[in-house]
Amino acid sequence: MSIVKRAVGRLVHRGWAYMREAAAISPGSTGGYRFRSLGEGACIAFPVGAIFGEAWIEIGAHTLVGERVSISAGMGPGVDLGPASIVRIGRGCSIGRGSHIVGHQSIDIGDDVFTGPYVYITDQNHVYDDPDTPIGRQWPRNKPVVIGSGSWLGTGAIILPGTRIGRQSVVAGGAVVRGEFPDHSVIAGVPAKVVRTHSPELGWHNPSGLRLSGPLTAPRPPAESLTWTDRLS
């Protein structure tokens, strides 16, 4: 490799690193003022995904939203969605790159929730009640979603409308989740079920006798203790 090519490469990498830092959305940046709330130390990494309806989105302090994460409130930009917020992400969370959070009625993500990349969370479903009308033209239904504090959502997990996940729970990668799940649940499968739970008497145990197919990712440390590079990995 020539000296010139190496020098150009260094300049490109330094420029890209500077652009990532300068273009990230933070409470003090121009883009940050569009949100209903963007807490101290929060950051939406560059490149930014599709984000609209910021006036109905709250993001807590020290939460990192990874690269190319899409967060939306409502059907599209410029729609008045009323006085209340719709998407609420707590403090100290880490949302993995390429994830989508699509809110129309209410999505509550608690504090210290971590997700792997490409997680999909929505409170709206298309319906197929009328067999003669294209499904995409039928009016969808909304149902609130709640994800309890301290939970971990594995890569590619899908959280569907009406889901309520308790505190300190684990959702396995690729799970398709609908329904209500208690605190301290390990949720896996398609459709997802509780495969492990915790009680003071038994500790972590399998309530159904089913065997897990593989190890689960260990919980990550608090967001405040991680570097941005760690939290994006």
* Residues belonging to the active site: 126
CA distance 109 to 121: 10
| List of residues 6+ apart from 104 with CB closer than 8 A | 73, 74, 75, 86, 123, 124, 140, 142
Backbone angles phi, psi at 232, to 5 degrees: -85, -15
**Type of residue numbered 140:** P
Burial class (CB in 10 A: 0-12, 13-18, 19+), 5: exposed
Question: C-alpha angle with apex 220: 16 to 185, nearest 5 degrees?
Answer: 135
- The three-state secondary structure class of 40 is coil
Which among 123, 126, 148, 146 is positioned nearest to 137, based on CA atoms?
126
Number of Cβ atoms within 10 Å of the Cβ of 115: 27
CA distance 118 to 175: 12
Do you find a cis peptide bond into 47, omega within 30 degrees of 0?
yes
